[in-house]
Amino acid sequence: MMLTNSANTVGTTKNQKQTQQLSPFVYWAQTEDLITLKVDLKEVEHVDVTMENDILHFEANGLGARGVNDYEFNLHFFSDIEPNDSTYNVHDTRVTFNIKKKVNCWWPRLICQPLKPHWLRIDFDKWKTEDDIDLEEPIRNIMQDYPNTYKELQRQEFGYIKEKGKMVYLLFYNFGMFIGYLYIFSVMSILYYRDGINCMPNIYENVGNAYKFVQLMQYLEVLHPIFNYTKGSALIPFLQVTGRNFILFIMIDNEIRMQTKPVVFYLFIIWTLIELFRYPYYITQLLNINIYILKYLRYTLWIPLYPLGIVCEGVIILRNVPYFEETQKFCVNLPNKFNFTFDMPLFLKIYLLILALPGTYFLISHMTKAREKKLKTKKKFFL
């Protein structure tokens, strides 16, 4: 009886050791011809690796999630590999594998069985960058090149599609701005349909506050590239938004006589038409939807609209010069404690020259280059 109990005890101990087998966290990624693995172990010793046609066996001692222990795992791959062309390297903080696929193709998963073990993770960083792998070409961006595969990997790893906060914010921002300009355009269209040209003197009274709101909101587009929400420089949107707001807040909102001029109606229509195609285009780009006609209009409508808008802005500034000479609004005259003088009418004349010559050239040049890049055309406009 004692011997029997002892034998049972020994058998139980062996079973406990088998059930307590420790596996390290293993992170994997792939290209069309290569599988990469990163074994999360530090201070690795006594590494034993066996690779066969579709199997990888790993054993080592090291510092992992369960402290310093013996760790091991087995991977039965989804498809065959080339053991002789596959390599591994032991680093201070990890063990890395470069495993050559026998057939170049994208695997839907790493292992043959659909249910993956809890210690096997997807290395999303490796999908995006070359990292430590010695390849002649960098790893492709799976999120852009294979969006469906990337979403499936996200679903397998997290159980849901992990939306990026930046993308959600930009979708809401662009959609909100589109709704704002659509509201302005709708009001102006209804008033013009109902009253014809008689609506023009009252157009600022009806949409002025809405226009001031959306134009102030556009300063967020200056912050987007600064905080890496969008690509490009913050200078271009800053100059464009500030130029519009100068016309809107200083030239129109501060001079009641200018608010009733027909040129304000024409300027608002031009600005609105530009934005009604710009924001929907940005939304489709965020959603990876390619609508060529929308892209074409986004990068073509500016050809007639931008010069017309500049002409309208110039007319507003020119008409305001005698008004500001009369009212002396924003002028600073001597003597004053700062010993400083500022003549607003003179500033408007200088600003008009800057807007008419270098400002127009800079803006048209920028948009022409953007059009060439997006529509793959070398045709020049106004240059």
The residues annotated with a catalytic role in the active site are 306, 313
Q: Are 57 and 36 in contact (CB under 8 A)?
A: no
What are the residues facing 72 on neighbouring strands? 59
Beta strands 67-76 and 120-122 are unpaired
DSSP 202: G
> Whole-angstrom Cα distance, residue 160 to residue 154?
7
Q: What does the angle CA 348 – CA 354 – CA 357 come to, to the nearest 5 degrees?
A: 135
The encoded tokens of residue 373 equal: 């890049």
CB atoms within 10 A of CB 19: 7
For 251, phi then psi, to 5°, come to -80, -35
> Whole-angstrom Cα distance, residue 293 to residue 135?
39
Interior/surface letters 229-264, b for 16+ CB within 10 angstroms, e for the rest: beeeeeebbbeebebbbebbebbbbbbeebbebebb
> Whole-angstrom Cα distance, residue 79 to residue 73?
18
